[in-house]
Structure 1
Amino acid sequence: MIPDVQSPMRPLLEAVRDGEHIGGRDLIAAMSDRFELTDEEWTALLPSSRQGWMDIRVGWSMRHFS
């Protein structure tokens, strides 16, 4: 199931806690694995754009850390 807006926050912090740079695409893939998304969920797009749900969820969480 695609996580709500806040659910990726802690896993994202855990993924980057060692200070090593991880690119956005790799973080999105890691979060998709973490939340056990199906292929359909992984590729699901927002109805109003061409962006994926996980792109938006992970991007929103990352902006809150900067």
Structure 2
Amino acid sequence: MRRGLDQPGGKLPLFDENGQRYSARTIRSCIDQGWATPWFDNPIKPDWLVCKLTPTGRALFGRDGG
């Protein structure tokens, strides 16, 4: 999630630094905790959850929701 702090709009990366896709279970857990929210549907890859950080998610790292 920390990598989303530096992404445009707070977008959460879909892949880690080694190119491995993050588990949908991990992403859904972040959504359930209120740390991330679905952002938009990807028409090319409809099974991918494209999410962005919420203000609560930013607060975990000492950043405000702005």
Structure with the higher fraction of residues in helix conformation: 1
**Greater per-residue strand proportion:** 2
TM-score by length of 2: 0.35
TM-score, scaled relative to structure 1: 0.35
Higher normalized contact order (CA 8 Å, seq sep 6+, divided by chain length): 1
